[in-house]
Chains A and B, each alone.
Chain A
């Protein structure tokens, strides 16, 4: 998707460990997931 006035990224994913970020978020994601499904279960 090339755009007129396209801007190149200064930060790219390779500069960061996204697997580690996902691991950091996982406990909260599981908690939120259970809360969401509890809501669906009640409905």
Chain B
């Protein structure tokens, strides 16, 4: 990791359906600090509305949310904790 780059946590939730990727995101959020970046990989299409609702509730920022075909990739900036 380059100097000055915020800690980047990769959360691989591919294959997870119940309770789902939001569980892994919530766990990563518990361990995060302001300034961290969380990258979430998921295959459950429900991840999109869930992460949007999560970001709205927690006040954190979705940098990108991309369906890459084999997986959905969400990058989040942790700006509030």
A and B: interacting chains: no
